[in-house]
Amino acid sequence: MFRKMIYIFIIAAVLFCLVPTRAFAEDAALEEQMWEDPCDRADILVFATHPDDEVLFMGGAIATYAAQGLRVQVVHMMNYSVSHPVREQERLDGMWTLGVRHLPLAGRFDASYSTGLMADGEIVGDNAVGDSALTEYVAEMIRRFKPQVVISHDLDGEYGHIRHRMLAAAVAEAVQHTMEEDFYPESAAEYGVWDVPKTYLHLYDENRIFLDLHSPLGGEQGEKTAIELAAEAYKKHVSQQWCWFYVSDDVNDPKSEQINAAIFGLFRSTVGPDTGNDMMENILSYDEQERIAAEEEAARIAEEKAALEKAEAERKAAEEARKQEEARRAAELKAAEEAAAKADRIAKACTIAALLLVTVFAHVIMPKLHRKR
What is the C-alpha to C-alpha distance for residues 315 and 143, in angstroms, rounded to an integer? 51
Closest among 124, 44, 52 to 90, alpha carbons compared: 52
Per CB under 5 A, the segment of 51-59, 60-68, 258-266, 282-290 that binds Zn ion is 51-59
What is the C-alpha to C-alpha distance for residues 86 and 52, in angstroms, rounded to an integer? 12
Nearest residue to Zn ion on Cβ basis: 50
Q: Measured from the CB atom, is 191 or 246 closer to Zn ion?
A: 246
- Counting contacts by CB under 5 A, is residue 91 touching Zn ion? no
Q: Measured from the CB atom, is 88 or 281 closer to Zn ion?
A: 88
Q: What are phi and psi of 52, to 5 degrees?
A: 105, -25
What is the C-alpha to C-alpha distance for residues 217 and 122, in angstroms, rounded to an integer? 41
Q: Measured from the CB atom, is 57 or 267 closer to Zn ion?
A: 57
- Identity of the residue numbered 284: L
- Counting contacts by CB under 5 A, is residue 158 touching Zn ion? no
Helix (H, G, I), strand (E, B) or coil at 342: helix
Q: CB of 57: closest distance to Zn ion in angstroms?
A: 8
What is the C-alpha to C-alpha distance for residues 74 and 43, in angstroms, rounded to an integer? 11
Q: Measured from the CB atom, is 49 or 225 closer to Zn ion?
A: 49
Q: CB of 268: closest distance to Zn ion in angstroms?
A: 23
x/- mask, Zn ion, residues 239-278, rule CB under 5 A, reads ----------------------------------------
Q: CB of 121: closest distance to Zn ion in angstroms?
A: 16
Strands 198-202 and 208-210, bridge-based pairing: unpaired
Per CB under 5 A, the segment of 44-52, 90-98, 120-128, 309-317 that binds Zn ion is 44-52
What is the C-alpha to C-alpha distance for residues 7 and 311, in angstroms, rounded to an integer? 83
What is the C-alpha to C-alpha distance for residues 128 and 33, in angstroms, rounded to an integer? 37
- Kindly identify the residues of this chain, within the stretch 330-369, that bind Zn ion according to CB under 5 A: none
Q: CB of 65: closest distance to Zn ion in angstroms?
A: 21
- Maximal C-alpha separation, the chain: 169
Q: At what angle do helices 59-67 and 226-235 cross, to 10 degrees?
A: 120
Q: Which of 42, 43, 50, 57 binds Zn ion (CB under 5 A)?
A: 50
Q: At what angle do helices 85-98 and 59-67 cross, to 10 degrees?
A: 50
CA 266 to chain centre: 23
- Kindly identify the residues of this chain, within the stretch 53-72, that bind Zn ion according to CB under 5 A: 53
- Counting contacts by CB under 5 A, is residue 49 touching Zn ion? yes
Per CB under 5 A, the segment of 20-28, 52-60, 235-243, 345-353 that binds Zn ion is 52-60
- Counting contacts by CB under 5 A, is residue 154 touching Zn ion? no
Per CB under 5 A, the segment of 43-51, 122-130, 268-276, 352-360 that binds Zn ion is 43-51
Positive or negative: CA dihedral 218, 219, 222, 224: negative
Helical H runs in 243-285? none
Q: CB of 163: closest distance to Zn ion in angstroms?
A: 7
| Residues at the contact surface with Zn ion, assessed by CB under 5 A | 49-50, 53
